[in-house]
């Protein structure tokens, strides 16, 4: 065999090997069965119940659904279910790292289990208030009917995040999927983001609210709020504030509807490149600035293509 033929064959073999490796890796990623995590040897396999003092909850799930619920119990119980049998390698892993309960989807490593879904349920004592609660999910939904924590982190690559919480600091975001949050009590800061999906927030008392999405609707409702900033590339923005200090909205393509209190009042700067501005509130006008009441609140709204409507909050 000639030398040039040997070289060509070797190159083809190398290319095929690389392609196979890529396919295997991609298959593993989408099946949710590839990857590792630190201190894997310290984790225990399978469901469990513990009475240990837990201050922090750290969940990393790959494919399926995650539920975090309060229950009438003294300790914490962690269970998982699937439509298919769960092999030993695919059983959840857990580790009490000091006061932090860490939960992983399965044993680390590569396994070709296409689209293997598991539903995780973490039951917490009703009296438990966590310092930090973190739930990160690759593909699937997160459902938290109620939780109390100082800091709450929620994230999903593809899926819906739904939670009701009482927390000082909250951040939640998805690449593809909706974010639905209901916050009670005093919240210092809320940060919500998404690439493709809707954002819906209801808050009682929130200091700073920041919400943004590339494609989707953003809805924000707050009883008391210091500062709200919303950005949207393509989609509608609806804001309802019963008390107003500072509001900033920017959209590239989409309408803006703002329901604001007439008393004590606010100043609004509204700019639209292609769109109309209408209001049902009596306001004086100076150029692009409108004044309602004493003008103590600050409102800035800008759209590239879309209408702006300001109405009195009921």
Residues 6+ apart with CB under 8 A from 232: 212, 213, 216, 218, 250, 251, 252, 254
Predicted pLDDT at 29: 40
Q: Could you tell me which of 70, 74, 111, 67 has the C-alpha nearest to residue 91? A: 111
How far, in Å, CA of 142 to CA of 156, rounded?
A: 8
Characterize the bridge pairing of strands 289-293 and 284-286: antiparallel
Token readout for 309 is 């409507």
pTM, full prediction: 0.87
Q: CA 147 → CA 66, 159, 170, 197, 208, distances in Å?
A: 14, 20, 12, 23, 20
Which residues are bridge partners to 68 per DSSP?
122
Angle made by CA atoms 289, 290, 295, in degrees to the nearest 5: 110
pLDDT in tens for each of the 314 residues of the chain? 554 554 554 454 445 444 444 444 443 344 344 568 999 999 999 999 999 999 999 999 999 999 999 999 999 999 999 999 999 999 999 999 999 999 999 999 865 555 799 999 999 999 999 999 999 999 999 999 999 999 999 999 999 999 999 999 999 999 999 999 999 999 999 999 999 999 999 999 999 999 999 999 999 999 999 999 999 999 999 999 999 999 999 999 999 999 999 999 999 999 999 999 999 999 999 988 999 999 999 999 999 999 999 999 98
Q: CA 213 → CA 195, 239, 259, distances in Å?
A: 5, 15, 20
Q: CA 18 → CA 10, 15, 25, 29, 31, distances in Å?
A: 12, 5, 11, 16, 20
Residue for token pair 């009296």: 127
């Amino acid at each position: 065999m000639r030398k040039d033929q040997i070289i060509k064959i070797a190159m083809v073999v190398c290319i095929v090997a690389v392609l196979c490796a890529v396919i295997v890796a991609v298959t593993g990623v989408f099946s949710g069965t590839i990857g590792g995590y630190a201190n894997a040897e310290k984790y225990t396999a399978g469901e469990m119940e513990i009475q240990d003092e837990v201050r922090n909850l750290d969940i990393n799930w790959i494919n399926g659904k995650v539920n975090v619920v309060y229950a009438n119990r003294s300790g914490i119980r962690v269970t998982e279910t699937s439509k298919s049998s769960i092999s030993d390698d695919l059983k959840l892993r857990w580790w009490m790292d000091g006061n932090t309960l860490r939960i992983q989807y399965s044993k680390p490593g590569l396994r070709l289990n296409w689209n293997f879904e598991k539903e995780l349920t973490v039951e917490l004592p009703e009296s438990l208030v966590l310092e930090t609660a973190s739930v990160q999910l690759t593909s699937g939904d997160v459902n938290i009917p109620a939780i109390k924590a100082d800091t709450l982190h929620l994230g999903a690559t593809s899926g819906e995040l739904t939670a009701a919480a009482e927390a000082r600091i909250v951040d939640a975001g998805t690449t593809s999927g909706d974010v639905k949050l209901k916050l009670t009590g005093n919240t210092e800061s809320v940060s919500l983001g998404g690439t493709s999906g809707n954002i819906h927030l209801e808050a009682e008392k929130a200091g700073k609210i920041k919400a943004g999405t590339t494609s989707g609707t953003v809805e924000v409702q707050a009883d008391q709020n210091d500062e709200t900033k919303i950005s949207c590339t393509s989609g509608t923005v609806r804001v309802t504030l019963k008390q107003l200090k500072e509001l900033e909205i920017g959209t590239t393509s989409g309408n803006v509807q703002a329901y604001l209190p007439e008393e004590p009042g606010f100043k609004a700067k509204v700019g639209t490149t292609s769109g109309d501005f209408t209001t049902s509130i009596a306001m004086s006008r100076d150029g692009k600035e409108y004044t309602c009441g004493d003008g103590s609140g600050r409102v800035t709204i800008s759209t590239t293509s879309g209408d702006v409507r300001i109405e009195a909050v009921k």
